[in-house]
Structures are given as C-alpha cells and as structure tokens.
Amino acid sequence: MGLHYEQLERETRRLMLEELALDEREGQIYRSQRLVRDRDPHYLALLRAAFVSETDDWLAYQLHEQKLLEEHELRRTPKGDVTIARVPTTAEQTLAEGEFNRYYVRALCRRVEETPGMMLEIYRARESDQPRPESALRVGHEVSATVLLTDLRTGTRVEMALGVPAGPNSGLSVRMRRREPGVGPDRPVGHETAPNPPGTQDYLPPPVQRGPGGG
C-alpha cells in the first residue's frame, strides 16, 4: 500500500510535472540500477502519467506488469564476495513510492515558497505498527522548504533530507500548514518533545504544537 498524500491537488501535480521536466532537461532523472537497460524512456513516460492523474501504487503496478525492473542483481556477501540474488519482491513499490514522494515533496516546497504564511510539517503518510525510532522522532517537525527543495533536487532521498538515516522507506512525507500568528520562519515552533537524532540538520526545528481541535 502506497502513501497517503494529503495535498495531491491539481496545483501540486502541475508542479510535480514541472520538477520532472527540470530534471529531464538537466539530465538529473534518477535511474535505478534495477531498471532494465534501454527502458528509460518507458519509465519516464510512466512517471509522467503517474504525476498527471495517478498514484505511487499505480506506478508500482505498472513497473511490475511491464517488467521494467531486472529479476536478478549482483549483491555483495558479508565475506565480500559477489553473488547473484533475486531482486526483492517489493522493489517496484520501493522505487515508485520513493520517487513519487520525492517529486510530491518538491512540489509542496514550491507551493510554500510561493504562499506567504505557510510552512511544511513532517507527518506519517503511512501508518506502521513498528515505526523506526528515527522516523518517529521526526513526525511533527517543521522543515525549511528552501533547504528541502535544494536537497531533493540533487537526488537526495526524502528520508535523508528529513533527517532519517538510510533504510527502508519510512512512510514519512510533508504537508503544508498555515504558520501560527507571531511565529516567524526562523523561530522554533512549540516545545521540544524529544531530542533530534544524531546528524540531524539544523534546519529541522522542534515539533509543531497544535491547539485544541488541531489536525
């Protein structure tokens, strides 16, 4: 099951397509090592179609049905040897979710930059019975749209850009919220409820505290 994108609206989709076009012009489209050789144009067409009107689940299904990923890959063993292993059955979902979310977050960064009084807040876009502690600590934190957009445009994964160490897709994304009156973009919002994980970027201030009735 894919992520729940709270603000996947027409304007968000338009900006996702603009960001994809930017990467295409600059030769920055992420190419998974598992992608079948010479299928790049087909993969790009599926990305574009997903951004126009579909979801990451649809994209994952298309990657699987059209066999765009290799079935086997080279993998290094604990002893340092190289062996041939089957590609995980979750490979299509991992790629689809990761790339859809990356462009979705980039689009929201641009919307925030263009809309005075708005901010970005990290939230869990997919529930988990056992979330990683590192990702749980990020939920509710504000993140700089400008810095986040720059990171994601250089190919950084969403998890790393949000301060979560490398690992399986965390299920985290961001959503736009209106900034509380009197709280400037450089001031911490609310009160710290847990320490930031080691290595977390300075642009991640404490979690947003909502008043009664907040979402």
The whole-number pLDDT of residue 214 equals: 42
Count of Cβ atoms closer than 10 Å to residue 194 Cβ: 14
pLDDT over 80 at 135, yes or no: no
What are the pLDDT digits (tens) for 167-196? 666 789 999 999 876 655 443 333 333 333
- Cβ-contact 125, 138 below 8 angstroms: no
pLDDT above 50 for 202? no
Interhelix angle 56-65/40-53, rounded to 10 degrees, is: 150
Q: Give me the helix-helix angle, 91-113 and 10-25, nearest 10°.
A: 100
Q: Helix/strand/coil (H, E, C) string of 46-115?
A: HHHHHHHHCCHHHHHHHHHHCCCECCEEEEECCCCCEEEEECCCCHHHHHHHHHHHHHHHHHHHHHHHCC
Which comes out higher in pLDDT, residue 85 or 8?
A: 8
Annotated domain spans of the chain: 10-178
pLDDT tens-digit map of 45-87: 999 999 999 999 999 999 999 999 998 888 888 888 888 888 8
Find the mean pLDDT for residues 29-53: 95
pLDDT in tens, 146-162: 999 999 999 888 988 98
Residue 8 has a pLDDT of 97
pLDDT above 70: percentage of residues in the chain: 80
